[in-house]
A = this chain, B = another copy of it.
Amino acid sequence: MPVEFAVGVDFGGTSAKVGLVGRGGEILGRDLVEIDPRADFRHIVDPVADRIRALVRRSVPGGRPLAVGLGTPGFVDSRTGVVMSGAENIPALKGNSVAAALGEALGLPAFADNDATCAAAGELCFGAGKSLRHFALVTLGTGVGGGLVLDGRVYRGSRGFAGEIGHICLDPGGLWCNCGSRGCLEQYASAPAIARIFREKLGKREREAWEPTAKDVFQRAAQGDPEARDAVEEAARSLAQAFGTLLNVLNLEAFLIGGGVSQAGEQLCAPVRRHLPDFTWPTLARETRILTAALLNDAGLLGAAATAYDRIS
């Protein structure tokens, strides 16, 4: 029997990671395509299509992918694959669908989703969500992204914009967010937010001498630094508030934390678990699992391929 595989394209601002991914999440081949952000649309799409063809010939001779899945930051219309925002650095993408153009060039069904929604698909297909039917995947990095799996399927909402967990309003009089609203989770639990919360607790001299990262904060907290521990605690409490709201509304089984900050593992999950009962019914909180996501470095690629599997199923 010929091997079944899908193409995953993790489409970023300066490059596209391309991979051929089997049903079990095994990566059969991979490539990296540089993207010239000033190129016109065809000169962005064609090289990616060429490299996918070459990759298939090289890695699965005689094989034919089932479909193409593409993940990209920002708002993606999941029906058309058009990136609605968040791709300002590549003007040629505006109003165009890379997924549709790739699908046409390769003669394959092709689908696009926001990268965090792809990450949720990845966990469902290959990762920590394989045995779950209702969960939220939250990526904590430069921003806070989210994807949902409801009733065993990736949930996209009416136009594909669902899962913007980073913009749950935690405090209507809170910090202004890049999205234009106030008090969004992203301002309290992203990597820069955790670093900012910690810095605000430092003395003036130390604050001026040092630009700590979120990783530094977790390291210091592990060493017992009280300001760092307080910063982790505050970020965890903000996450717990958002998770409580999601639990009350969606009756999920689990939250999977991904993105760079998730390297903190139990150092972050444990305090989130501890604060959760303040924001939902204690029995619901007890029944709900807070875990780190299973897919790490290749989450983007695997998620994009999983999106293809989810959409053709």
The 8 Å CB contact of A164, one of B148, B157, B248, is B248
Is A134's CB within 8 Å of the partner chain B? yes
A134 touches B151 (CB 8 A): no
Bound-complex Cα distance A241 to B168 (A):
9
B181-A251 in contact (CB<8A):
no
A169 touches B279 (CB 8 A): yes
CB-CB < 8 A to A287: which residues of B?
Answer: 159
Task: Return chain B residues, CB-CB under 8 Å to A250.
Answer: 148, 155, 157, 162
Bound Cα distance from A155 to B156, whole angstroms: 14
- Chain B residues positioned under 8 Å from A278 (CB to CB): 181-182
Chain B CB within 10 Å — which of A161, A163, A165, A246 has the most? A161
Assuming the contacts A162-B251, A180-B282, asked whether A168 and B134 have C-beta atoms less than 8 A apart, the reply is: no
Task: Report whether B148 and A244 are in contact in the complex, using a CB–CB cutoff of 8 Å.
Answer: no
Contacts of A124 in B (CB 8 A): none
Q: A177: shortest Cβ distance to chain B, in Å?
A: 11
- Complex Cα distance, B167 from A158, in Å, reads 24
Q: Which of B158, B160, B168, B179 contacts A133 (CB 8 A)?
A: B158
The interface residues of chain B lying within 8 Å CB-to-CB of A169 are 170, 241, 244-245, 279
Copy tally for this chain in the complex stands at: 2
Question: Across the interface, do B249 and A249 meet the contact criterion of CB distance under 8 Å?
Answer: yes
A96 within 8 A of B: no
Instruction: Say if the beta carbon of A172 comes within 8 Å of chain B.
Output: yes
A156, A162, A180, A249: which has the most chain B beta carbons within 10 Å? A249
Provide the bound-state CA to CA distance between A279 and B155, in Å. Answer: 21
A157→B181 CA distance, assembly (Å): 28
Q: What chain B residues lie within 8 Å of A282 (beta carbons)?
A: 180
| Cβ distance A147 to chain B, nearest Cβ, rounded Å | 11
Q: Does B167 contact A280, Cβ atoms closer than 8 Å?
A: yes
Quick one: which of B151, B172, B180, B284 contacts A155, CB cutoff 8 A?
B151
Chain B residues near A49 (CB, 8 Å)?
A: none
Docked Cα-Cα span, A160 to B77, in Å, equals 30
The distance from the CB of A225 to the nearest CB of chain B, in whole angstroms, is 25
**Given contacts A171-B171, A244-B169, A284 and B251 within 8 Å (CB-CB):** no
Contacting B at CB under 8 A, from A241-260, are: 241, 244-246, 248-253
Task: Specify which chain B residues have a CB less than 8 angstroms from the CB of A300 in the assembled complex.
Answer: none
With A148-B249, A167-B280, A249-B163 given, is the CB distance from A157 to B172 under 8 Å?
no
* Interface pairs A-B: 8 shortest CB-CB: A157-B251, A162-B251, A164-B248, A161-B251, A134-B158, A167-B248, A158-B253, A168-B245
8 contacts between A and B (CB under 8 A): A150-B155, A157-B251, A158-B253, A160-B251, A165-B249, A167-B248, A170-B172, A172-B279
